[in-house]
Chains A and B, each alone.
Chain A
Amino acid sequence: MTAPLLSISGLNAVSDRDGGAPILRDVSLTVARGEVRGLVGESGAGKSTIAKALLGILPRTVRVTAGTLAFEGRDLLKLPARELRDIMGSEISLIPQDPQTALNPGRRIEAQLTDGLRMKRGLSAREAHGRALSLLEEVHIREPERVLNSYPHELSGGMRQRVLIAAAFALEPKLVVADEPTTALDVTVQKQILRLIRGMQEAHGTGVIFVTHDLGVVAQICDTVTLLYSGKVIEEGRTADVLASPRHIYTRALIAAGPRYDRPDAGLTPVPAAVFEELRREIAAGGGR
């Protein structure tokens, strides 16, 4: 069996700002080549923290206290800064959450798309331009020439997100971290973008860590899922299994709490206090380091 692309093992992190309060408790997960793993949880569950740790952009107030982040066998937490810089953007890339703020409003799209190509792959301006054009076509942008020449504010939210996806795949990364990439989008646009991400991922054989709070999105786009609560992995497995026959009461409660357009009585059952009690008990017993 080939080694997984990404293997997070026993990751523990604390917040220095809150007096050492644990943010991640013994988190472990793997992502194989070409696998889309969903990272699901409510706000504060720690999914963003894991994504930031992967990208090396943890805030200074958050400290990893134990564990490894093995990417292709190398522990990202122990690599020297120079090697990390080589990996980020080219082998591991990001699809960010907010297309509004992720693009520099003062630079044209072409400049932002070709930055990485020119700096990390040494392409000339013309080569980069050509590559940028084909990338935009790959993300189904009509009139790619016009878009390359535009400023971000001249494009719609959906188009900006497509540009960001193109940028994420530009350097043929092995792993893409998608940080709630559709949360800020209309639901119809979300579907198109999800379709696009899946398509790109399948075409390039990229592994994806897909951070979201929406179990519906997980069901439709993720092969496997890891559910977090308060920094602890509650349940994980193949999406089909976890959703059809959840093992943990929290998972079950979360699925039941979500509203559904096909069921008038769904969405009105909050997670029972007893479930939170149980979670607290498990966390105290598990004991984050």
Chain B
Amino acid sequence: MNAAALISQPLPTLLVIPSGIGCAIGGYAGDGLPAARLLAAASGCLITHPNVMNAASLYWSEPRIHYVEGSALDRFAAGQLALRPVRRQRIGLLLDAGIEDDLRLRHLQVVDGCRASLGLEIGAVQISDAPLAVRLEQGASGASWGSLGRPDALLRAGERLKAAGATAIAVVARFPDDPGSQALAAYRSGAGVDALAGAEAVISHLLSEHLGLPCAHAPALRPLPLDPALDPRAAGEELGTTFLPCVLVGLSRAPSLLPWPPAAAPGDSGLLRPEAIGAVVAPAGALGGAAVLACAERGVPLIAVQNPSLLSVTAGALELAVLPAASYTEAAGLVLALREGIAPAALVRPLASTLVA
């Protein structure tokens, strides 16, 4: 390949905006999506996770963005998975037995709508053999976490869907309603943490790691009373009666997950290989996650973006070398520079003189 052709090639870039830590951009209802679209345009190939892309009734299907569940993204960053883009996935729907009949019907009608209006292939539906019993928790840092009382029931239902031919799984678990809580009020006003995000991530991590399939989660909740002061970043979650449409759209073209390195040569030129990752973009105060550290240890350029959150786990604290960016707009410029083979240091002043080592 000549140099001109190489420069026009995409630069696979990871975008990480951790869930449940109150990031000013990406900490709400899919409000990281504009940044993702910009970075996809700059890189030509963006790999990111559902927290960035999911805005309940709102979604954006973009062929340059690969929708990869968080734990799979961690394993991709660590060189343990490759990603195989697909035309479509056959989505199985896993419903928590704890969901009431009327809420279950709402979700099944979302499936019908996505089949009828978007042409998605959504096949088997399974209800867990016991209520999943989601618990919401909060760490000492203020980050949202959570757990499941019956992970075994989740995994059994997932296994049945995989056996029925599902190649990707959308999970809907009944989450505790708490419409009067201070945490929810703070989130809706744009000053709080997504209290559901931590438990959602645990559910999708567990299922994806167990089955080796793309998975994503939507919580089942009762609609909230109208809030005239609702922050625009949270609005995506208040337009409909479920959070499921974005998950179904995201999974419909989510890449398949291949253990890496493979036992035999994959013979697949379209494969996204972990060694091709050209940059990782993450909040400057939230660099202490698995994907970022794996990339940093492999020498992948790390772009640390000012995106305030609860955490202050910075490059200085972790002794990481980063390319700092004041905004996602600046980060996109850095990605473009890397894609074009321009040394980022050449773009700032003062430019230090060359010294003999």
- A interacts with B: no
Q: CB within 8 Å of B: which residues of A?
A: none
Q: CB within 8 Å of A: which residues of B?
A: none
